[in-house]
A and B are shown apart, each in its own frame.
Chain A
Amino acid sequence: MSVGVADPRPDPGPTAGEPTPAPRSRGRVLPPPVSGQELVLVGVIAVMWVILALATPAFATAGSIQPLLVSTAPIALVGVGMTIVIITGGIDVSVGAAIMVCSVITAKALVGHGLSLPVAVLLAVVTGAVLGAVNGILIAYGRVHAIIITFGTANLFLFLGLRIFGSSTVNGIPSTLAFFGRGTQGRTLGIPHAFLLTLAIGALAWWYLRHTAGGRHFYAVGGDANAARLAGVRVQRRVLLAYTVTGVLVGLASCFVIAQGTSTLDQSVGTGKELAVIAAVVIGGTSIMGGRGSVLGTLLGALLVQTVTSGVTQLGWNSQLSDLFVGVFIIVAVGADLLRARARRTA
C-alpha cells in the first residue's frame, strides 16, 4: 500500500499499471491474455527441458517429470496467493513459517485422531486462513508496511509451530494424504493430483483477477490505494482478503508437503519457502511495486525454479548451485522487465 509513496521516481511504466475496469463495451482495456514475459518463460523452460533431456536421458521419463510436477505444486499454489498479495502492493514473508504451523497441526491431528482426508484438508485450510487473516488484519487496519509485519508474524508463527512440535519430529504419519503424494495413488492418467489441483486453482485465480470487478480491484489497490479508495474500492477489505486467500492456499500446500514427505515431519518444514515463492512470483513478471502481474507467470516461474533445482541435481552438480541460478534468473527476469519499461518510456 505505502510502496507507491516510498517510490517517488517516475512511474515504472505508463502502460504497466492497468486502470480500473472501464466500461465493458471496449475490449481493449485488458492486457493480452499471455504477456511477452510469459512467452519468454515458456521458451526458457522448453529449452531447459530439451537440454536436460539431451544431457541426461533419464530426465525425459515419467519417473523424472512426475516428481518435478509434484514438487512444483506447493510453491506454485502459495505463489498464486502471493501474486494477489504482491499485486495489492504488499508482500508476505511469513508463508514459510505458516506452512510449518499448518503442517505440524495437521500431522499431529492425523497421528492422534486419525482424521479422514477431507477433514484433514479442512483443518489445514482453516488454520492457514486464520494465520493469513492475522497478517491481513494487522496490515489492513494497523496500516503498517507489510514486509515489517510479516517478518514479525513469521517469528510468531515459528514460535507457535515449534511449541506445537514439542519434541523434534512428528512420527508415524498415516498415508491419509497419499492422494496428493508422489505414489501411484497420487496420480490420474499419470498426472499428479497435486499438480492438477494447482492448475485448477491457478486457472480460477487467473480468471477471477482478469475478468471480475473484484479481481480488478486488487490491481487498483496496488496501482494507487488512495485513488482506488476514492473510486469506491473497499481497500482494507481487499487487502485483508488477499492475505487470507494466501493463508488458505498455504493450508492446502501444507497438505501437499505432508503428502510428499515420509511418515516423519521434522522442524525444518517450510524453511526458506517464502523466498522460493517470492522468487517464483517475481520471475513470473509480477511487479513488486504492485498493480501489475499475473497468475500464469507465477505458475511458469515456479516451474522454472523447480526445473532448475531438479536439473542441477540430475546433472550431478552440487545441489546448492541451484540457488545461484535462481538468483541469476531473478536478476535477468526483473532486469528485462525494467529495460522494457524504460524502452516504453523513451519510445
Chain B
Amino acid sequence: MSAAPAVTDTPAPAPDNGTDRRSAGARILRALLTQRIALLAVLIAVVVVTFFVMDSGGYLTAAYDFDYMSASLINAVPLAMLGLAELLVILSGRGGIDLSVGATVSLAGMVFGFMYGEWGWPLWIAIVLTALFGALLGAVNGFLVAYVGFPALIATLATYYAYKSLAIVVNDQQPISTPAIQRLFSLSRSVELPVIGAYIPNVPLGIFTFLLPTGVVVWLLLNRTAYGRRVYAIGTNDVAARWSGQPVRDSRFKVYVYAGLISGLVAVVTVAQFASARPDAGVSGSGMALPAITIAVLGGVAITGGIGRVAGVVLATLLVVWLNAGILLAFAGNEGSQYQLLALGSVLVFAALLNGLTTRRYGGAR
C-alpha cells in the first residue's frame, strides 16, 4: 500500500488526468497539500498573526513583536541544522534515520570543550576539528548502515547509547566551563545588520556564522552537484540506482558522514549558547534528535526517502520556533514548556497524516 511514495520520482510531475477543470477552491487545496512550501508559509502566517492578535488583546505575558521573533531565532540555529542533517539521512532512503545526532552533539561538544576550553587551542582549529570529529562519529553510522547493512534505526540507536555514555564518562559527568568557553557566549549574541540594520531588529549572530552557510552548502550539495542527485536517486529506488551504475554504498555512507559533520558544528553552537560544554547537551529531556526528525517530517521529507527539500526544512523550523516562542508567552511558569510538547506532538502527527493523505490523493508532495 505504501508503494506510491517510493515509486513517485521527484522530478517527474504528479501524474495528472489531463486538463485541470476544477473549482478554484479545489485547486488551492491541491496546491496547499502538494506544495509543502506553500502550506508552511500559510501556517507561519497564521501562527504569527494569531500571536500578534493575542498580543494586542493583552493575552500574552510579554510583547510578541518582531524583536522577540528575531531573538527567538537563536533556537532555530541548532534545530534547523540538525533538521538538515536528518534531511540528508532520510533522503538517502532504505529506512534512513539518525537517532544519534543528539548524542553526537554531546560528545563532540565535550571534545570541543577540551580542545578550546582546557587545552587553549585556537578557536578556528578547535571548530574545524570538532566538525571533523563529528564527521568521524557519523562515519561509524555510515559504515554500519551502508557497508555492513545494519538497519539505520538500529545502528544509530546503538551509537546513540555509546556516544551518550562516552560524553558523560569522558569528563566524569562534569561540564567544562572555563573562562575561554564562557567568553564564547558572545557568539550567540544578536547583531545589527549592516546597511539595513537600522530598520529591522537585531538578528542572532549564529544565523549568519552557522545556519546560513550550512543551509546554502546543503542546498548546493543536493541541487547543484551530481552527488546530490544521486542521493535522491538511491533514496527513490535503491535497486534501480545500483543497476544504473551508481555507487550506492559510497553515497549512502557519505550522507551519514555529512550528518555527523553538521552535528559537530551544532555542538559548537550549543556550547556557545550554554557558555559551557555540557555532557548531556544533546540528550537531556527528549533530546535533540526527536525535534530534528519532527522538523524534517513537517518540512515534507518522506520517511521512505527520495523526497524532501532544504526550503521545507527551513520553513518548518521557523514555524516551530515561532510557535514555541508564542506558547512560552501565552502560559505562565513552566506550563508553557508543557504546551510546547503538545504543539510539537500535534504538529508531527498532523504532518504525518497529511503526508499520508497527500500521497494517496495526489501521488506525493514536493
Contact = CB atoms under 8 A, between A and B. Distances in A.
A223 to B, nearest CB: 15
A154 interface: yes
A152 B154 contact: no
A267 to B, nearest CB: 10
B341 A155 contact: yes
9 contacts: A5-B3, A6-B304, A9-B94, A145-B304, A318-B169, A320-B165, A320-B173, A322-B165, A327-B165
Chain A interface residue bracket vs B: 35 or more
Given A148-B297, A163-B338, A330-B154, A6 B95 contact: yes
A324 B303 CA distance: 28
Contacts of A323: 161-162, 164-165
A156 interface: yes
Contact of B345 (A152, A226, A288, A330): A152
B97 A147 contact: yes
A250 interface: no
Contact of A3 (B95, B158, B164): B95
Interface stretch (B42-50, B130-138, B144-152, B208-216): B144-152
A195 B344 CA distance: 37
Contacts of A6: 2, 6, 93-95, 303-305
Interface in B56-108: 93-95, 97
Contact of A2 (B304, B348, B349): B304
Contact of B353 (A8, A9, A144, A330): A144
A148 B158 contact: no
Nearest to B158: A330
B20 interface: no
B151 A288 contact: yes
Sort A-B residue pairs by CB-CB distance and give the 5 closest, nearest first.
Answer: A155-B345, A2-B2, A327-B161, A327-B162, A152-B348
Given A159-B339, A324-B162, A328-B158, 10 more contacts: A6-B305, A8-B237, A152-B346, A153-B349, A156-B346, A323-B165, A324-B166, A326-B158, A327-B157, A330-B154
B348 A9 contact: no
Contacts of A226: 1
B297 A289 contact: no
A275 interface: yes
A176 B290 CA distance: 36
B93 to A, nearest CB: 7
B293 interface: yes
A91 B2 CA distance: 17
B276 interface: no
A158 interface: yes
A156 B1 contact: no
Contacts of A322: 165
Main secondary structure of the interface of B (DSSP, over half): helix
B144 A8 contact: no
Interface of A: 1-3, 5-9, 12, 91, 138, 142-145, 147-149, 151-156, 158-159, 162-163, 225-226, 275, 278-279, 282, 288-289, 318, 320-324, 326-328, 330-331, 334-335, 338, 342
B159 A143 contact: no
B172 interface: yes
B158 A155 contact: no
Given A6-B95, A151-B290, A321 B304 contact: no
Contacts of A331: 144, 150, 155, 158
A335 B168 CA distance: 26
A287 to B, nearest CB: 8
Interface string B338-366: 11011011111100110110001000000
Interface string B185-210: 00000000000000000000000000
B238 A320 contact: no
Nearest to A322: B165
A6 B341 CA distance: 29
A180 B144 CA distance: 40
B294 interface: yes
Contact of B158 (A8, A12, A225, A327): A327
A289 B151 contact: yes
A143 B2 contact: yes
B53 interface: no
Given A142-B356, A159-B342, A320-B169, A149 B349 contact: yes
Given A162-B338, A320-B169, A338 B150 contact: yes
B153 interface: yes
A163 B338 CA distance: 8
B125 interface: no
A86 B348 CA distance: 21
B160 A158 contact: no
Contacts of A154: 286, 290, 345
Nearest to A138: B349
Nearest to B285: A271
A183 B251 CA distance: 55
Contacts of A1: 1-2
Nearest to B95: A6
B239 interface: yes
A158 B339 CA distance: 10
